[in-house]
């Protein structure tokens, strides 16, 4: 009986008021549903920390990119030389951190000294599994390298070649390791 009274009162309301009340009820249900989902699946603080870390990484990349654009195109070295642009210690570290590419020339030069690596590299069709460029805070030097695997040609061996990155090549768009001293 009480329900019938309330239903009759709702039916007597103007249509626009009933639609508005229905909209408010749906909004409350949606907000409540998301609150329940967030309680079970929400990452909250972790997500904010990940977003801040990504923003810092993007800002750092932009800063390094601006530095790279100020350097001349060509070979960049951290030591005194005749024909190449000499990097300051700060530039050397920044270029190392900005570099993601190990050039084919650096790979071939490093392979000449390591016979096993040269054999795997030529047998597997010049396939490089992984490259890396890392700044060593302890030694204040840049190290670069690559990983070769012969698994695609039946050689069950993986070799990691690494050494000091003695020079970089600036294309104007990016930088590449130009020479790896691995002896």
Segment 57-111, tens digit of pLDDT: 899 888 877 877 788 888 888 887 777 888 888 888 988 988 888 888 888 887 7
Domain enclosing residue 10, as ranges: 2-42
Tell me how crowded residue 48 is: count the other CB atoms within 10 A of its CB: 10
Looking at the structure, tell me whether residues 136 and 78 fall in a common domain.
yes
Looking at the structure, tell me whether residues 79 and 28 fall in a common domain.
no
- pTM more than 0.85: no
Q: How far is residue 104 from each of residues 101, 133, 141, 169, 179, measured CA to CA in Å? A: 9, 14, 21, 12, 10
Measured distance CA(57)–CA(51) in Å, rounded: 10
Measured distance CA(102)–CA(21) in Å, rounded: 64
Query: Residue holding tokens 């104007």?
Result: 172
Predicted confidence (pLDDT) at residue 136 exceeds the cutoff of 90: yes
Query: Could you tell me if residue 167 is inside a domain?
Result: yes
Query: Could you tell me if residue 6 is inside a domain?
Result: yes
Looking at the structure, tell me whether residues 87 and 26 fall in a common domain.
no
- Asked whether 94 and 140 are in contact (CB, 8 A), the reply is no
């Amino acid at each position: 009986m009480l329900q019938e009274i309330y239903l009759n009162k709702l039916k007597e309301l103007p249509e626009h008021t009933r639609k508005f009340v229905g909209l408010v009820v749906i909004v409350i249900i949606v907000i409540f549903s998301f609150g329940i989902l967030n309680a079970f699946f929400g990452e909250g603080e972790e997500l904010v920390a990940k977003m801040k870390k990504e923003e810092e990484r993007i800002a750092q990349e932009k800063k390094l990119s601006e530095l790279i654009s100020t350097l001349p195109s060509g070979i960049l070295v951290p030591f005194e030389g005749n024909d190449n642009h000499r990097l300051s210690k700060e530039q050397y570290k920044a270029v190392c951190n900005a570099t993601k590419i190990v050039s084919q020339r650096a790979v071939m030069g490093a392979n000449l000294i390591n016979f096993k690596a040269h054999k795997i590299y030529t047998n597997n069709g010049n396939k490089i599994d992984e490259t890396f460029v890392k700044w060593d805070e302890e030694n204040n030097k840049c190290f670069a390298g690559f990983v070769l695997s012969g698994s695609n040609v039946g050689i069950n061996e993986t070799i990691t070649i690494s050494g000091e990155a003695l020079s970089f090549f600036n294309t104007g768009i990016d930088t590449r390791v130009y020479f790896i001293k691995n002896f």
